[in-house]
Homo-oligomer: A and B are copies of this chain.
């Protein structure tokens, strides 16, 4: 822990946070040499498409955006607002696909039927996904985002997961080897299960892009000590009526 200047890392951290002010949430607005020097070394590109699921994108964003040296960039067919699957929310795509020729991490969120299918069948998106994947360090997905990776031809014979209700489709249509797990790491491809699984994936990536110390700190920063009110978070734990109702609620809330 001791550097050549005799200052330990822990001392520096204590010194920084001692000035953090009454709210205890840090030195907002005071850029540090460390963060400035590390800016945009690692680019995480999150694809946003009409009908994507917000939490699929925002869970990993929140786990990754404070990792030293990481910059999360939202990418759309064009820059500007992109509507989610329910139509009740929009996130901004900062860049157009054509302006993002490279990323260290590619993340494809899932979406409702309409948005996922349209994206699976969009040649320009698939070409971009393949191009980014060629030089990425990690190529990742959440929820039905795995179907987009599959449609781009990246999952044939690859152990992978997706939304619980889409597992058979992923295997039958794209030849993925559906594998149990909150997320499945196969070489540089990591596919996560549905929606909230992107948080687990994001913290895993935070540690991989930095170290376990940063992973642990980011988990505390987002206070990820979950206490789900029910025990129905996976299809294996839920009964048939709950599974059917979940499918119906998702279908009924889908924006036209």
**A: which residues have CB within 8 A of B?**
10, 13-14, 16-17, 20-32, 34-35, 51, 53-55, 58-59, 61-62, 65-68, 71-74, 81, 85-86, 88-92, 94, 112-117, 143-144, 147, 163-166, 168-169, 173, 182, 193-197, 199-200, 203-204, 207, 212-230, 232-235, 237-238, 241-256
Given A55-B222, A228-B224, residue A28 in contact with residue B91 (CB < 8 A): no
Q: Which of B31, B65, B214 contacts A88 (CB 8 A)?
A: B65
Residues of B within 8 A of A27 (CB): 113, 251-252, 254
Closest B residue, CB atoms, query A33: B252
Residues of B within 8 A of A25 (CB): 112-113, 116, 144, 163, 165-166, 247, 250-251
Q: Which of B115, B199, B233, B244 contacts A14 (CB 8 A)?
A: B244
Bound-state Cα–Cα, A254 to B164, Å: 36
